Structure 1
């Protein structure tokens, strides 16, 4: 299993995070229902379904970490806010975004299907469109979001708890 990690520094409008964005490549196998069952078993609750994938405006969530799984199709997007890093995501891939990390959806294939999930007990209530005037309040909220206890696929022994337990300073 390969998990890619990417770090994004704060900008004037986006807190981003000291925690890395995680991209699990080709992690989804079997049916979407089996994928969702695995998430639930590891404390990540599927919350939304979309043929849009990453929302088509730069935004972030200050009150929850977010997982987006691609059960079919492909999409390109930008992580980290304006001037961030372009990524390509395809069927079988999952991106886990720490609270505060901006993301933007670009090109979408016609057959795209995505599932969004959050750690148990959390969901997005705070959808921010990267407004510099909101930075301080958003950062305060981001810093209060607890680390999830389990990796969405491998539980307590998976890469997420290890990679997020000691982020760089």
Structure 2
């Protein structure tokens, strides 16, 4: 099962001294699933079919954080929100059901605002387990070391083996 790939936005966020971010670009798939057909079960089916096992259903933390041990995918299943990606100097994204964001290890993210029913399905490539870092002074250089060791996924959570993630991430450098 492949999601819709036409609404792809590619954005890079670089180290700001607090949040490492990544040379790998963040991918934002607008309406990867049709708006009216997007729910938690459909998101989980999309991710599973493309080799990214669903891990949780929840919201997004309301504070800047990042993961140094895993790439993360967020699929909006219900409601809407405004997210800040890339740390305080990053970019704001408005998300709705059907949207999917693939966040490389190290890229800061947080929820700025959301509807009361906002629900996200989160997933990671097989074998990757997430940690939670908030940009504290003692996070680095351990976080930088971890990020450099996170393996490249073998598939795109929206497009599978032929999806654009692999091409965009191979163009990025670590």
Task: Give the TM-score category using the shorter length.
Answer: over 0.9
Please say if 1:138 is aligned against 2:158: no
Q: Which residue of 2 aligns with 1:34?
A: 42
Q: Which residue of 1 aligns with 2:169?
A: 164
Distance 1:91 1:37 in 2: 15
Q: Which residue of 2 aligns with 1:92?
A: 98
TM-score by length of 1: 0.92
Give 5+ residue unaligned stretches, structure 1: none
How far the C-alpha of 1:43 sits from its partner, in A, is: 1.2
Equivalenced residue count is 166
4+ residue segments displaced more than 6 Å:
none
Give 5+ residue unaligned stretches, structure 2: 1-5
Q: Which residue of 2 aligns with 1:2?
A: 7
TM-score by length of 2: 0.90
How far the C-alpha of 1:168 sits from its partner, in A, is: 5.3
The structure that is strand-richer by fraction is 1
Q: Which residue of 2 aligns with 1:151?
A: 156
C-alpha RMSD of the superposition = 1.4
Q: Secondary structure at the match of 1:104?
A: strand
Which is further off, 86-95 or 28-37? 28-37
Which of 19, 26, 51 in structure 2 is aligned with 1:43? 51
**Contact kept? 1:14, 1:132, Cα under 8 Å:** no
Q: Which residue of 2 aligns with 1:120?
A: 126
